[in-house]
Structure 1
Amino acid sequence: MVDANEEGGSLSYTASLITQGKHRFYSLTIPSDVLARTCFVVDRDEDPIAGFQRLLDKDRAQQIADYIDAGFGTIPTSVVLSAQSISQFTYQRSKRTVRFLENPKSFLVLDGQHRIYGFHLAKSLLRVPVVIYNELTRVDESRLFIDINTKQKPVPNELLLDIRKLAEYRNDLETRLGDIFDLFTTEPSSPLFGSMSPSKRKKNQISRVTFNAAMKPILGLFGEASSSEIYRVVAAYLTAFMGQATERKLEVDVAQPIAFRAILSIFPEIAQRVRDRFGTNYASDDFAVIVSDMLKSVKPSSVKNVGNSVSSYAKIFMDGLKTKSIF
């Protein structure tokens, strides 16, 4: 790059000086291999590479390195550094350039530790956006580190799961779960139609995170069945359960995460009884017979104020199954 120069053991890059509040910092791009050679995360007396290895998750850093080496991705987020005195960091306003010595302890990493360790592990080189603070005290560095790492709000898991479909990043399990979720969301005949929230967590609605947590344990029962067939069977079960609960005046809100997970957790027991008694068609009317017998011994008061325990909620229904033989 034309804005990078070596002169007398130092490096220089074009940069912009930015002022925010009482702080000034410099925005620029630096080659990833230079960052790998000049940044550290531990005390100055310790080896920078060993420091990275001790403090950080190598598997996560290796994933970043693999992502870089694959050549298909991009990492546009700026790494945040604090220039140390040993770097002899300077800014020349007339040329809009920063200059610093290439030293293993030139920059303390305030944000982006795993990315920089990933750059060290990667075989490929890329240009990295960087923000550099200069002449910070240890107190300033500590406060900035705390601010950066506590004030950033993570993206909700519900939104990430929704976006992974658009990004075509889902694995086979995620694909099946996502397809089944979408059928419950979009099919007008779905017993959960209007109660699904694809991209965020909402009160009295089932998010992708809740749905996946409930469906994963029972998915293996269906073998290689298609997503539409799994949807058909589970929808038949939920339709039967909701109908029988309403008939017996049980206040069971299937859209509540605890209730939804508890009801699906007992699906294997219900499905086995349906299969033994009616075969493998798994129609809603067949489920209704088994569920009706199960709910006969469930008192309305027992499904109120059940707390946040999925297993405790499920036990209420399982006890109903065991009360008497249903054959």
Structure 2
Amino acid sequence: MATHPTPETNDPLPKIGGRVRYSMSFVTQGSHRFYTLTMPSEVLASCCFATSRDEDPITGFQRVLDERRAQEIADYMDLGFGTIPNSIILSAQPQADMQDVGRGKTLEFTFSRHSFLIIDGQHRVFGFAKAKTRLRVPVVIYNGLSKQQESKLFIDINTKQRPVPNELLLDIKKLADSENDDEIVLGELFDAFNEDNESPLVGLLSPAAKASGKLSRVTFYAAIKPVLSTFATSSSSVIYPALRSYVSAFYKGLITIGMRDTIVNPTVFRAVFEVFPEVAQRVVDRYGPTFNEQDFSELMVGLFGRIKPTKFQTPPRSYKELGADLSKALRGGFVIG
């Protein structure tokens, strides 16, 4: 006579072919009907697959998924305070012989390596399986779907859901107090450029989203991060005045050739900082480490006299290529006095 265990997170795995029961709720959304429940992470990983039915679930995961990403999820959960409440979306397969029993409050299925096809959440399932911590995982299960319906559901889930923009994630990291050292400095510099009335970028930065005619936080960080190593300090209060003077001087140089608006072009902005170390070294050699706007302007005046405005108006795809053009224009008038 078959038994109907209800596994807990510390219980051994059910036997292949055994019947398993979980408490569930039945949900209807439009023409779709599905079950919601929670399953122990080790049970979930052992009865789901993401590739061919002929492959072992874990082996199959390793072939199609990013193991590094899965390990990051496992490490996150093992920290002890990690939580990922999103439901795993599954499609019950015929061998699961899934049924609702107990007056519609209990879900029963046959435990096997291929009881369920993962529609969404492969990395989470694999990550939970790699974690040392045993978890209860929210699950949504569809039953009786055809292969065509499974494919359409996969497409719907992966096209209707939009990932959180990187700009917003960087902005939220500050609120969550989860920034690394570089991100802390970059965040302080971004805020300074965005809020200081003397900043040449006031009104030209967008903190949490991409916006037409403005520089995003992602572009700003990508441009500034490489030059942080140029400074002997990590103090934004020391770094900011030097960068502000440099950007002000470069911005005024763009104005002289009628290319003022191009400062917010991501390629142009990153190219501006591609040549910052070279410009800064020349300023130090000629004027000392004062880094005021006038010194930067005097040193770069020849650059704007030699470079074609079209380089900014229609920049190349690579900021490094534009940076090389700026460096060449800068060197063009360099003489030893």
Residue 231 (str. 1) matches residue 232 (str. 2): no
1:210-289 matched pairs, under 5 angstroms: 210-246=219-255, 248-253=256-261, 254-289=263-298
Report the CA distance shift for 1:301/1:151 in structure 2 as closer, same or farther (over 3 A). Answer: closer
Q: Distance in 2 between matches of 1:250 and 1:317?
A: 17
Query: Which of 51, 58, 62 is residue 67 of structure 2 equivalent to?
Result: 58
* Offset at residue 121 of structure 1 (A): 1.1
Residue 176 (str. 1) matches residue 177 (str. 2): no
SS of the residue 1:296 aligns to: helix
Q: Distance in 2 between matches of 1:197 and 1:174?
A: 16
Residue 20 (str. 1) matches residue 29 (str. 2): yes
Q: Distance in 2 between matches of 1:112 and 1:251?
A: 47
Report the CA distance shift for 1:154/1:126 in structure 2 as closer, same or farther (over 3 A). Answer: same
Q: Do 2:267 and 2:315's aligned partners in 1 also have CA atoms closer than 8 Å?
A: no
SS of the residue 2:90 aligns to: strand
* Offset at residue 122 of structure 1 (A): 1.4
Number of the residue aligned with 2:11: none
Residue 201 (str. 1) matches residue 202 (str. 2): no
Query: Which of 63, 78, 84 is residue 69 of structure 1 equivalent to?
Result: 78
* Offset at residue 301 of structure 1 (A): 5.4
Aligned residue type for 2:175: L
Residue 304 (str. 1) matches residue 319 (str. 2): no
Report the CA distance shift for 1:299/1:49 in structure 2 as closer, same or farther (over 3 A). Answer: closer
Report the CA distance shift for 1:301/1:91 in structure 2 as closer, same or farther (over 3 A). Answer: closer
Aligned residue type for 1:100: F
* Offset at residue 302 of structure 1 (A): 5.3
Residue 45 (str. 1) matches residue 46 (str. 2): no
TM-score by length of 1: 0.91
SS of the residue 1:5 aligns to: coil
Q: Do 1:162 and 1:199's aligned partners in 2 also have CA atoms closer than 8 Å?
A: yes
Q: Distance in 1 between matches of 2:112 and 2:39?
A: 14
Q: Distance in 2 between matches of 1:83 and 1:323?
A: 69
Number of the residue aligned with 2:334: 325
Q: Do 2:90 and 2:119's aligned partners in 1 also have CA atoms closer than 8 Å?
A: yes
Number of the residue aligned with 1:110: 119
SS of the residue 2:260 aligns to: coil
Report the CA distance shift for 1:122/1:314 in structure 2 as closer, same or farther (over 3 A). Answer: closer
SS of the residue 2:119 aligns to: strand
1:121-172: CA deviations, max 9, x gaps?
A: 1121222111001111122212212222233211111111111111122111
Number of the residue aligned with 2:6: 5
Tell me how large the CA RMSD over aligned residues is: 2.2
* Offset at residue 322 of structure 1 (A): 2.4
Number of the residue aligned with 2:128: 119
* Offset at residue 245 of structure 1 (A): 3.4
Q: Distance in 2 between matches of 1:271 and 1:230?
A: 12
Aligned residue type for 1:250: G
- Structure 1 unmatched ranges of 5 or more: none
Q: Distance in 1 between matches of 2:58 and 2:30?
A: 34
Aligned residue type for 1:32: S
Q: Do 1:252 and 1:303's aligned partners in 2 also have CA atoms closer than 8 Å?
A: no
SS of the residue 1:82 aligns to: strand
Q: Distance in 1 between matches of 2:61 and 2:114?
A: 13
Report the CA distance shift for 1:303/1:34 in structure 2 as closer, same or farther (over 3 A). Answer: closer
* Offset at residue 304 of structure 1 (A): 3.2
Number of the residue aligned with 2:322: 313
Q: Do 1:84 and 1:106's aligned partners in 2 also have CA atoms closer than 8 Å?
A: yes
Q: Do 1:252 and 1:259's aligned partners in 2 also have CA atoms closer than 8 Å?
A: no
Aligned residue type for 1:182: D
Report the CA distance shift for 1:230/1:18 in structure 2 as closer, same or farther (over 3 A). Answer: same
SS of the residue 1:62 aligns to: helix
Query: Which of 177, 192, 201 is residue 201 of structure 2 equivalent to?
Result: 192
Residue 157 (str. 1) matches residue 157 (str. 2): no
Q: Distance in 1 between matches of 2:328 and 2:40?
A: 64
Q: Distance in 2 between matches of 1:256 and 1:189?
A: 21
Aligned residue type for 2:124: R
